[in-house]
Chains A and B, each alone.
Chain A
Amino acid sequence: MSGVDFCGIWMRHPVINGSGTFDMIAAVEAFGDEIRQRFPFAAFVSKTITLEPRRGNPPPRLYETPAGMINSIGLPGPGVDGYLENDLPELAALGVPLITNVMGPSADEVGELFDRVDPRAEIAAVELNVSCPNVRTGLDIGSDPRELEELLGAVRGRLSKPLIVKLTPNVTDVADIARAAEGSGADAVSLVNTLRSWAPHPDRPGEPWLGAVRGGLSGPAIRPVALSQVEAVASATGLPVVGMGGISSAAHARQFLDAGATLVAVGTESFRDPLAAATIAAGLA
């Protein structure tokens, strides 16, 4: 495969990372410069960046499931200031396009995040995490087409870079949400985010294991669901799609590309093997 054009961004192959599944700075700590030299992804997606720093959820944060895992991490991060000052220069040295994932509970906050990231030349595109309740209405922005249209209508003009909307699978009809994104200025969509899940405490019947009660399911267990949603969105819109959900081999990646995805993202499989995405990309070539 001789490279991919995604929203005008050239990528050397179609395999990127899912947001929040690869911490490049920690990986350099664990593996040294070799992980930079053998960087497995064609573009790097940041973890979700919020306006203020976040501590993340109380532990326990993980639960293993049949062919997958539930996480309840709670988007810990340095806030947009810390990200732009400390992380971005280090990420820019990777030499691949950078996609910054942002999230906010109101149009004001998302607009401010767009204002902050838009001037930074190191950032090729922005991915908007809409798996977040609207602070005013309490509704998940990404599970209601009108909420999403209202948000994008208010903020899209404040970002000159390509905008990817990361869709949640926890909806009645994901194609409806994707059409709303397309009609309000999204340049691409990525899906699926994790499936909302609950983990039983092994010793206390009826009680949750996870410190924040609910989490999100990922891994091979969700692959058929993800494929279904990717196919539905690719059929319903003309937008480029980043497909993800349980991809652990080139054959799985091919299934997503065949279902209409332009790029695929690897997440949970990178936890098991930090170079998994390189193996998958090589298998697609």
Chain B
Amino acid sequence: MSEGLPADGRYGPAPPDRRSLVVAERREVGPYVVISVEGPDGPAAAPGQFYMLALAERWGGGTDERPFLPRAISVMDAPAGKLEFMLEDVGPGSGELCSAQPGEGLMVLGPLGRGFRPAPGRQPVVCAGGIGIAPMVMLARALGPGTPAALGFRDAPHAEAACLLPDAQVATDDGSAGHKGNAVELLASILDGVPEAEVYACGPPAMLGAVRKLCLERGAGSQLALESGMACGFGACYGCVVPMATGGYSRLCVDGPVLDGSLLDDDWQVAYG
């Protein structure tokens, strides 16, 4: 059940210092890279929270003379004295982070934002697409064994990451592993057997849009871990906004990145260009 999650999605404010930590380990999980760093201070990271990351050296001067800004990366896990991040090379920033080697310095600010929250009286269900599996590793542990989970990947090599959530159902777009189709189809059949569900989801905007729609149709709650380019991560730049049903905007960095799907504007995906 979800009572193991902090009520407001975090354990406390972060230290304002941007710290240089040392990359302790780097491993590959299918096409993804997992790096761990040692010695974070501040409060424990809660599932769904993120850190702003940049390499201490080699930041800038890459493709298109970038990256310049740090990258907002959700925490995959936080074993004692360590932080683990899962990365996919999708651009100049994530590409540099993927290339980080043990012993290299990583600039870290966080933990930031509000992660997943408890939903008393509801049965938690996990749904993730692609790299969106990352925050689910720590979340699934907090939710406890037996939490149903649906994972979607584009193909079998990417689906190797499903080993991080061993009991999950798996779909691939091309059918090369698990169910041929997507995670939301698996989620729909899970929800058939769960009358009072709270869906915890992370993945690409199109997938989260489908999860949100399905949950609204089924009367399930949805907590969506959204993603956005961010300059700061702490509410200063107002760059990471999504439109809300109230007519205003929410900043993903301070109000999210996990938001209640029912509170988003129906046109929220405009935030993704």
Q: Which residues does A use to contact B, with CB under 8 Å?
A: 20-23, 25-27, 29-32, 34-35, 38, 55-56, 58-62, 64-69, 71, 73, 76, 201, 209, 211, 219-220, 268, 270-275
Q: A31-B16, A66-B68, A274-B16 are in contact. Are A61 and B109 (CB under 8 A)?
A: no
The complex places the Cα of A209 from the Cα of B229 at a distance, in Å, of 13
Q: Which residue of A lies closest to B267 (CB)?
A: A58
Q: A29-B254, A76-B249 are in contact. Are A62 and B14 (CB under 8 A)?
A: no
Contact between B254 and A26, CB atoms less than 8 A apart: yes
Contact between B236 and A65, CB atoms less than 8 A apart: no
Q: Which residues does B use to contact A, with CB under 8 Å?
A: 12-18, 54, 60, 64-70, 93, 109, 112, 228-243, 247-249, 251, 253-254, 270-273
Contact between A211 and B270, CB atoms less than 8 A apart: yes
The complex places the Cα of A55 from the Cα of B247 at a distance, in Å, of 9
Contact between B68 and A274, CB atoms less than 8 A apart: no
Q: Which residue of B lies closest to A39 (CB)?
A: B16
The complex places the Cα of A55 from the Cα of B240 at a distance, in Å, of 14
**Minimum Cβ distance to chain A for residue B156 (Å):** 27
Q: Which residue of B lies closest to A38 (CB)?
A: B16
> Lowest 10 CB-CB distances: which A-B pairs, in order?
A26-B235, A32-B13, A66-B65, A62-B239, A30-B234, A271-B232, A271-B231, A31-B16, A59-B271, A273-B18
What is the number of contacts between chain A and chain B, taking CB atoms within 8 Å? 128
**Minimum Cβ distance to chain A for residue B24 (Å):** 23
Contact between A29 and B242, CB atoms less than 8 A apart: no
Contact between B65 and A62, CB atoms less than 8 A apart: no
**Minimum Cβ distance to chain A for residue B73 (Å):** 15
19 A-B contacts (beta carbon < 8 Å): A23-B235, A30-B235, A31-B13, A34-B16, A55-B249, A59-B249, A60-B273, A64-B93, A65-B66, A66-B65, A69-B231, A71-B237, A73-B237, A76-B249, A201-B273, A209-B273, A273-B18, A274-B234, A275-B18
**Minimum Cβ distance to chain B for residue A27 (Å):** 6
